[in-house]
Chains A and B, each alone.
Chain A
Amino acid sequence: MSPDTHVLALIEEGNPIPDPDQLTVDQELNQLYLTAINRRNVEATMLDTETRTEQSTKPRSRTLVAIAAVVAIVVGVAWVLLSQNETEVPPAVTPTTLVSEVAPTFEGFWADPTGTQVAFQDNNYFIVRNGVTEDQGTFTFLESSANLRFRSNSLTVSCMSGDVGGYDFIFPNADSLQMTVATEDCGEFERLGQSIALTRTTAFGIPQVEVEVTTTIAAGPIFGPNGFEVFIGQDAPGTYETDPESRFRPLIFSTDGSWGCVHSNPDLLPAGSPICGSHGPVFELDSSGVVAGFLVISETGREPAEVLSSLRANSEVVVGGETEFVPESGDWSSVVFTLDAADSAPSRTTHCGTYEGPCAGTDLINPTDTEATHHGSEPTDWAVSSTQTIWLITLGDGSELVAIAWFEKSYVPPEEDVAALAEAATAVISSLNFPG
């Protein structure tokens, strides 16, 4: 066999999926199930004939409805499959109690003097800095308990190249946590969302801080030290369609006590997560630029109106208009964004990551980048030009507003569900309280 034939044969052999027909139904379900949870949203949208009328003159609305419709169709297919395999379908966003499979002595909450904290719980890790979750994901032990592998849930926070910079980006204070890169995996795992292996160079000599991580820490993001409360704005419970061009999926409030973002792999997003990854879901304004609702998560117990009022006073937020949100000082570990409220124009959305503060603002904004949003929405020949997305904003001063989301309401739940949903959502949020 000549070398060229040989290498071609090797490539053929390396086909990750040599026979697509052998794919199992489960894999299909894994994909389709997610769409099923949008069922009510889709139904509401499909029944909204007024919206249908509007779509003829509003490209963005048309797209939204179109996407809702495609979801409906896919749901139909999914429904058939689900009905055949009902018992195999995992709940997507139910609050779960994960079964710990790791050495219990390892679990706990570790901190370094600079304020970076790492919590290990039920195979999940959380890296928190100044009260803001910078990264989270799963960890597993490798061959020996001395080696750990971290796998970030976030596609945007991960190993970049295996160099120190990339490493630090994942784990800002790895050295002080006495961990070092154990393998060269990073060199090959250059892809976002891949994993990095770390090794404890000593037996975790950092003293455990005073708090013990207990089951009260849900497998979800940790926003701050104490007392989260959730406030739900008008008609907030329900299903909200996020940017259809984005990889992020809807934010769900459901009557079973769960809420969270939905990702294609529910396992990657723990129940009760109000934020997907470290950036959060994308929400849309309606076509007029009016914010249709809001969700405020605050740890201070203030009323939403008060929080919003404070925001306006401090940062010149103008709801529903041309907006420039500038932190009052450089202390916040996020956020600057701009919103182009013109429906017909391409949106310009950007934000600063939550992991590198303070945000310098314009250095991360490319004024010429008007074609696509920072995440998701890549222009293609069929792409929607106007998305008007705003990112969930994560404020990281550790004492006040933690997150705020603006979204377009696309589903109004029955009135009797609202109270139950609010109560359920509050309960879930309460379960995120960080003890101590």
Chain B
Amino acid sequence: MTPAETARFNALYAAHQKRIYSYVRRRVNTDIVDDVVADVFMTAWRRIADAPDGEETILWLYRVAQLVTSSHWRGMRRRKNLDTKLSAVATPSGISIPDQIVVREEVREALRIMDRLNDNDREILKLSLWEQLSGDEISVVLAIKPAAARQRLARAKKRLAREYEKKVGSNTAAIATNPGGAL
């Protein structure tokens, strides 16, 4: 690595460490956040020559983080199969955010519903709602076309809303049929 690249990496690290940490923390178990973040920056170091300048740097890092995190979950799934041979099945997201944070029940329920969406929907929702990325920015992170990103985001929101309505509806129905609360 040349001195210029070293300086560039240092600057990149200083500027974006927190956001990458946050990105990873929002997706993996707290126990392994540090490891995953370290892997992200190791990769960034190896690929520093590929890192774009300016505002796209963080998007590129998100992309790296997304790949590392996905890779991590693939490994977790494989480990499960090899280690346990149990029939237990991991949930798609690999982390139960609702169980890790203190939020009011309504929020917790919404997070659970999001957790039940498929990987792609969940990721794009998080990029939009948590990382606060625009459709164009999401397209960079996911390496898809901007139009496709916007379309996917819209669909994910629809699916989330549909699931939410379904859940809210069933709760309402349960209350209606069992107003006293006794089972």
Does A313 belong to the interface (CB within 8 Å)?
no
Number of B residues contacting the other chain (C-beta, 8 Å)? 74
Compute how far the CA of A338 lies from the CA of B163 in the bound complex, rounded to whole angstroms.
47
Say whether, besides A160-B84, A265-B31, A350-B82, A382 and B47 are in contact (CB < 8 Å). Answer: yes
Say whether, besides A3-B164, A3-B165, A16-B26, A380 and B18 are in contact (CB < 8 Å). Answer: no
- Give the number of A-B contacts (CB < 8 Å): 195
Chain A residues with CB below 8 A from B83, complex form: 156-157, 353
Closest to A25 in B: B18
Closest to B76 in A: A192
Instruction: State which of A69, A73, A165 has its C-beta within 8 Å of the C-beta of B10.
Output: A73
Does B79 belong to the interface (CB within 8 Å)?
yes
B18, A11: Cβ atoms closer than 8 Å: no
Contact string against A for B residues 126-162, beta-carbon threshold 8 Å, 1 for contact and 0 otherwise? 0001100000000000000000000000000110110
Does A403 belong to the interface (CB within 8 Å)?
no
Does A169 belong to the interface (CB within 8 Å)?
yes
Contact string against A for B residues 6-35, beta-carbon threshold 8 Å, 1 for contact and 0 otherwise? 100110011001110110011001011111
The 4 closest A-B pairs by CB, nearest first: A4-B161, A264-B34, A160-B88, A70-B45
Contact string against B for A residues 4-46, beta-carbon threshold 8 Å, 1 for contact and 0 otherwise? 1011101111111100110100011011001100000000000
Say whether, besides A4-B161, A378-B74, A265 and B34 are in contact (CB < 8 Å). Answer: yes
Chain B residues with CB below 8 A from A353, complex form: 83
Query: Which bracket fits the contact residues of A?
Result: 35 or more
Does B80 belong to the interface (CB within 8 Å)?
yes
Does B65 belong to the interface (CB within 8 Å)?
no
Chain A residues with CB below 8 A from B110, complex form: 7, 10-11, 14
Contact string against B for A residues 128-166, beta-carbon threshold 8 Å, 1 for contact and 0 otherwise? 000000000000000000000000000111001101011
Closest Cβ of chain A: how far from B115's Cβ, in Å? 10
Compute how far the CA of A353 lies from the CA of B84 in the bound complex, rounded to whole angstroms.
9
Closest Cβ of chain A: how far from B183's Cβ, in Å? 16
B86, A166: Cβ atoms closer than 8 Å: yes
Say whether, besides A7-B160, A11-B125, A35-B38, A382 and B10 are in contact (CB < 8 Å). Answer: no
Closest to A166 in B: B88
Chain A residues with CB below 8 A from B129, complex form: 8, 11-12, 15
Compute how far the CA of A333 lies from the CA of B34 in the bound complex, rounded to whole angstroms.
32
Does B42 belong to the interface (CB within 8 Å)?
yes
Compute how far the CA of A190 lies from the CA of B115 in the bound complex, rounded to whole angstroms.
12
Instruction: State which of B9, B25, B82, B99 has its C-beta within 8 Å of the C-beta of A374.
Output: B82
A73, B9: Cβ atoms closer than 8 Å: yes
Chain B residues with CB below 8 A from A318, complex form: none
Does B176 belong to the interface (CB within 8 Å)?
no
Chain A residues with CB below 8 A from B67, complex form: 380-381
Chain A residues with CB below 8 A from B43, complex form: 382
User: Assuming A190-B96, A192-B29, A268-B31, what are 9 further A-B pairs, CB within 8 angstroms?
Assistant: A10-B106, A11-B130, A16-B25, A73-B9, A73-B10, A77-B10, A169-B86, A189-B99, A194-B29
Closest to A381 in B: B67
Compute how far the CA of A34 lies from the CA of B35 in the bound complex, rounded to whole angstroms.
10
Contact string against A for B residues 84-114, beta-carbon threshold 8 Å, 1 for contact and 0 otherwise? 1011111100111111110100111111011
Compute how far the CA of A229 lies from the CA of B1 in the bound complex, rounded to whole angstroms.
43
Can you spell out 18 A-B residue pairs with CB atoms less than 8 angstroms apart? A3-B168, A14-B107, A16-B101, A17-B22, A20-B18, A27-B21, A66-B46, A70-B46, A73-B13, A74-B38, A156-B79, A192-B79, A193-B32, A264-B33, A265-B31, A350-B82, A372-B75, A377-B75
Does B72 belong to the interface (CB within 8 Å)?
yes
Does A172 belong to the interface (CB within 8 Å)?
no
Chain A residues with CB below 8 A from B31, complex form: 155, 193, 264-265, 268
Contact string against B for A residues 170-188, beta-carbon threshold 8 Å, 1 for contact and 0 otherwise? 0000000000000001001
Instruction: State which of A4, A11, A189, A268 has its C-beta within 8 Å of the C-beta of B114.
Output: A11
Closest Cβ of chain B: how far from A240's Cβ, in Å? 17
